[in-house]
Amino acid sequence: MNAQTPDLTTYQGLLEAVTDAHSGWESKDPATGEVIGGVPQRSVGDLDAAVVRAREVQPAWAAKTHEERSAALNAAADAIEASAEALAELLSREQGKPLNGPNARFEVGGCAAWTRANAAFPIEPETLVDDDSGTAQLEWMPLGVVGAVGPWNWPMLISIWQIAPSLRMGNTVVLKPSEHTPLSVLALAAVMNQVLPEGVLQVLTGDGELGAALTSHEGFDKITFTGSVSTGQAIMRAAADNLTRLTLELGGNDAGIVLDDADPAAIAEGLFWGAFINTGQTCAAMKRLYVPDSLYDQVCEALVDIARQMPMGVGLEEQNVLGPLQNRSQYEIVARLVEAARSSGARILLGGDPDESQAGNFYPTTLVADVDDENPLVAEEQFGPALPIMRYSDLDDAVARANGVEVGLGASVWSPNIDRAREVASRLQAGTVWINKHGAIDPRVPFGGAKSSGFGLEFGVEGLKAVAQPRAISW
């Protein structure tokens, strides 16, 4: 290793490669408040230059075969694996999520797995007509340059969801990560760029203003956005003038419905992780739980028992599986929503009393019973470690209440009777419905929202088509 080239398999090497000590913008650890490093502040001029470079290199990248691009993606996955522990440490420090549990190491492993999966999906021309009238095929072309804007909750994995299919299809990518987790995404790209051709993947760090400049820029053929509903609406308005294609993966307020034949002890751990994965900061986490009267107390008790066993603390301490909220404003949202439930007379079964003297944005694991659907804790997306548990006495009413919000990202049904659960699932307005699990994603299974949770699919062959231009050919 030459002295000028940082070793990206080490944490110090990653920091050296991506930080800028003179920018005046620092990324801080949400568990301790400690400075991690300076973040480069990119301008609209940098964005213009990145678009020019992305357009210059795109034809040569598109001219490669699928096999060649897949080989490059597999090499990028190898590089991610070689740097996995260093990436997980940086992610844990910057996002706050623990190394263990379904958290930092899991996220970095997912980055390699999704990259490999995108390298492997077949994308052949489809024969649509082949009879006496003639032949028609549909084939999938690169779009050009894809602009991506991402959130702070799963910063590396969600970036990969935007990057890997785009590169596989012969597009180049300019990505702006969240201002809350910029170093994590810069580091991921630095690792991948050790093996990718120069210029096909560029990351520019900046805030929402740079995001707005990117999403209204005429140099992009497609924008993929993951974040809140309100920013998604702003992006759709901004993209209108250039008719830029969009994939919008927006917020959720997923309901879980327990059926009356479920075994509370058997489902409690699944319910817990469905809601508290990444300390609740997950788009498709369970954010409202509906339980029949006959099982209500048992489910509440089983959830409290499981929740008490899950240690929360600084992410780098190996025993922890829950961490802080990534930023203070999210902490304040969670605290406000729990207070709204408390003041309405809801019962706080666990948590709800943060230790204000503690360093970091730790909000305790909180379970709330006997709360109305109109309460802000139920009606709004909490995006943190607080789960409201509601009673129902009539299943049709529970389905109507589950569907009674503007968003529809995911939902789940819990029952040992799969046929019965399947029938309830067929009535839920969501892009994904899980049975006896929640939030479990798979690179082969398309993922996207219903209603205000957005449109467009990610993952699988459908995800490749979403970043491609279809061309029908008839003869």
- Give me the residues that bind ligand NAD (CB under 6 A), please: 149-153, 158, 176, 178-179, 207-208, 211-212, 215, 226-228, 231, 234-235, 249-252, 283, 381, 383, 409, 449, 453-454
Q: Which of 89, 94, 179, 249 is catalytic?
A: 249
Q: What is the DSSP letter of 253?
A: -
Give yes or no: 300 in active site: no
By beta-carbon distance, which residue lies closest to ligand NAD?
Answer: 211
Q: Is the dihedral of CA 363, 367, 372, 378 positive or negative?
A: positive
Place of tokens 């690792």: 191
Structure tokens at 469: 């231009």
Closest to ligand NAD by CB, 252 vs 385, is 252
CA-based nearest residue to 154, from 201, 95, 89, 203: 95
State the minimum distance, in angstroms, from the CB of residue 169 to ligand NAD: 20
Closest to ligand NAD by CB, 89 or 458: 458
Q: How far is CA 382 from CA 58, 288, 322, in A?
A: 40, 10, 16
Q: How far apart are CA 20 and CA 16, in angstroms?
A: 8
Residue type for 73, please?
L
What single-letter DSSP state applies at residue 442?
Answer: -
Please say whether the beta carbons of 110 and 116 come within 8 A.
no
Pairing of strands 26-28, 432-435: unpaired
User: CB 226 → ligand NAD: shortest distance, Å?
Assistant: 5
Of 50 and 212, CB closest to ligand NAD: 212
Q: Smaller CB distance to ligand NAD: residue 264 or 274?
A: 274
Catalytically annotated residue among 89, 111, 283, 381: 283
**Cβ-based nearer residue to ligand NAD, 231 or 415:** 231
Q: From the CB of 194, what's the least distance to ligand NAD, in Å?
A: 25
At a CB cut-off of 8 Å and minimum separation 6, what does 81 contact? 112
Complex with ligand NAD: residue 98 or 454, whichever CB lies closer: 454
Closest CB 230 distance from ligand NAD, rounded Å: 7
Q: What angle (nearest 5°) sits at the alpha carbon of residue 461, between those of residues 456 and 464?
A: 60
- Name the minimum Å distance from CB 95 to ligand NAD: 11
Least distance in Å: CB of 211 to ligand NAD?
2
Residue 217 or 342 having the CB closest to ligand NAD: 217
**What is the radius of gyration, based on Cα positions, of the chain?**
23
Cα distance between residue 280 and residue 429, in whole Å:
21
CB of 241 to ligand NAD, least distance (A): 14
Q: Is 283 a catalytic residue?
A: yes
Local structure of 231: helix, strand or coil = helix
Q: At what angle do helices 84-95 and 11-18 cross, to 10 degrees?
A: 70
Q: How far apart are CA 287 and CA 410, in angstroms?
A: 10
Catalytic residue numbers? 249, 283
